[in-house]
Chains A and B, each alone.
Chain A
Amino acid sequence: MKTASQLRKLADGSRLVRVTFAGTDFQLREGGNLAAEMLAAGIGPFRYTPVSGAPRNPYCMMGACFDCLVEIDGVIRQACMMEVREGLSISRPAAGEAEHD
């Protein structure tokens, strides 16, 4: 069973910094697009839907679909609209979280 997309990174010499996702440490490129770096690190699913619990990962990468939602410091954010910073502590949004209205 496949669990991740395969992504090849073109080298760019960025510094790697530590972030955690759901309690596990990952080294991601500092300043990189958070959703992209998470995908390339094989992190996923980003979240489970509140309705059926289905797994989701980024779909549009342009801030329109909201499938890349993650929780950072208690705030639910679009990972594709954020940059990697050292020490980010990321988790899946709690199930049933009121993300709308």
Chain B
Amino acid sequence: MTEADLVVIGAGPAGMSAARAAADAGLSVVLLDEQRKAGGQIYRDVVRAAKVRADILGPDFHKGLELVHALRHANIHHITGATVWQIERNTRVAYTVEGAASFVTGKCLLIATGALERPIPVPGWTLPGAMTAGAAQILLKQSGMLVENAVLAGCGPLLYLVAAQMCRAGTPPQALVETQSTANILAAVLHHGMGAIQGWRQLAKGLGLLSELRSSGVKRFTGASAIAIEGSEHVEAIRFTARGRRQRVECSTVLLHHGVVANTQTARSIGVPHHWDELQRAFVPEKNKWGRTVHPQVYIAGDGAGIGGADAAAITGRIAALAIAGELGAITQAERDAAALPLRRDLRRELAARPFIDRAYPPYGGALSPADETIICRCEEVTAGDIRKYAKIGCRGPNQTKAFGRPGMGPCQGRYCGLTVTELLAAANGLSPQDTGYYRIRPPIKPVTLGELAGLAKQIEDEKETAQ
């Protein structure tokens, strides 16, 4: 199929729920995701994993099943293993499946590409054996693998979730090295008194995880700083300062995490403007309350539009689908507004605890402003000191750094250095992150080979011929 009313990129909770809501309204939907199974990050491989690992993954994981089953709808065409690498004229989407490139054009496009774990440049984070906490979860959900002899380091709800899942599976981490301090939590409580109570559901979940960890006896260090990973060819230990002295814990894997940030790659590649969100400490795309971007046919939903978690992602997906159905005349404005009303109420409830969590678990300062020797661009091995040096000789923004070195020019296109470069330049130049800006992202946003392009060129030609 090369045309559809709606093309959705990303089959996580946002994309899945949007696809179903749009299909229910009568729209034809093409849903693209580079993963072979629907689910997104949180519900990765949920259909298989829920059967065999439900006890480890926890009750939330089950919600994903419903979303995946709801994709069985005559109007939804889910193309799996489809990596989107370029968007032209805002709604023509080029993608690759198993080495063959194709494109599909939507009347509207929904970007639901989710989040990335915030870059966490600490000494040794490039060593084999240093991974993200999310990677450990993916190993568990997708492959049924448990990381043994590991230390979890950083902060945030996902860190606790991964730790609890490891305990349930009988492979508890060697230690939990947490960077937030009691002062952070206290400040959050004081600042958010009432807001935190409104978000009690999420908070109760967090407390439940904490008590699970406590009863399993995992060693916890809070207020940790000066985190460094040791090893010559592979991770051998983690060092940090906590409880007033230097600590060292031997391990073969370090799982790092200090929050997730919107994955802005796709939206940026078509010039959707972004602004700096001080509380999330990251850039988020500009959109209206329906998720509509500056390009009238392009919408954005889920964590890629700003972090709200899985339930909020599903809701924003539905809201965007309603707007799109209204726009394309499948429902009336009045129907759209009526259907959106309860969704907005649910969304408010879901988001109530967010600012509290952001304040209680701020990103690790040592990774926001790493020491000079620390590598910040994994691909091109550029250090924090290099970026500070560029600033000293007049570099103001991330795009300019490319004239000095190669940060952000490797295969990951800045996904794991972009925010660090922005923060480092902003601090060095005394500018705001907003004024410092971010890398300009140009397609292809995922690598595409010449062979794949050749196939696509042929397809375009064939279509021209049939049209004539």
Please list the residues of chain A having a beta carbon within 8 angstroms of any beta carbon in chain B.
Answer: 1-10, 12, 32-33, 36-37, 39-40, 44-46, 49, 51-52, 54-67, 69, 75-76, 81, 83, 99-101
Find out whether the CB atom of B134 lies under 8 angstroms from the CB atom of A5: no
In the complex with contacts A58-B135, A100-B410, A64-B415 CB distance below 8 A: yes
B145 close to A8 (CB less than 8 A) = yes
Cα separation A63 to B379 with both chains bound (whole Å): 14
Q: Which residue of A lies closest to B411 (CB)?
A: A66
Point out the residues of chain A lying under 8 angstroms from B411, CB to CB. 66, 69, 99-100
A-B contact count (CB 8 A): 146
Contact check, A55 vs B138: say whether CB atoms are below 8 A apart.
no
> Across the two chains, which residue of chain B brings its CB closest to A54?
B126
B34 CB contacts on chain A under 8 angstroms = 63, 81
- Give the chain B neighbours of A101 by CB distance below 8 A: 409
A9 to B135, CA, bound (A): 15
Question: Contact size class for B?
Answer: 35 or more
Partner of B144, one of A4, A9, A39: A9
Given the complex of chains A and B, what is the CA–CA distance between A94 and B252 in angstroms?
27
For residue B139, which residues in chain A have a CB less than 8 angstroms away from its CB?
7, 36, 39, 61
Jot down 15 A-B pairs with beta carbons below 8 A, ordered by A.
A1-B234, A5-B128, A6-B253, A8-B145, A9-B144, A10-B52, A49-B381, A51-B381, A54-B381, A55-B234, A59-B135, A60-B134, A62-B135, A65-B415, A81-B83
Give the interface segment out of B104-112, B146-154, B268-276, B336-344.
B146-154
**A3, closest chain B residue (CB):** B234
Residues from chain A with a CB closer than 8 A to the CB of B436 are none
Per-residue CB contact flags for chain B residues 150-176 toward chain A (1 = under 8 Å, else 0) read 100000000000000000010100000
Cβ–Cβ < 8 Å partners of A60 in chain B = 116-117, 131-132, 134-135, 416
B53 within 8 A of A: yes
User: Contact between A10 and B410 (Cβ–Cβ < 8 Å)?
Assistant: no
Within 8 Å by CB of A59, from B36, B130, B446, lies B130
The residues of A that contact B130 with a CB separation of less than 8 Å are: 59
Q: Known contacts being A2-B235, A36-B139, A59-B130, is A65 close to B409, with CB within 8 Å?
A: no
| Contacting pair B233 A1 (CB below 8 A) | yes
Q: Which residues in B have their C-beta under 8 angstroms from that of A3?
A: 233-234
Chain A residues with CB below 8 A from B126, complex form: 54, 56, 59, 67
Q: Are B52 and A58 in contact (CB-based, < 8 A)? A: no
Given contacts A60-B134, A61-B139, A99-B411, contact A10 B144 (CB under 8 A): yes
Closest A-B pairs by Cβ, 6 of them = A57-B128, A10-B144, A61-B135, A36-B143, A66-B411, A6-B148
Whether the pair A65, B252 counts as a contact (CB closer than 8 A) is: no
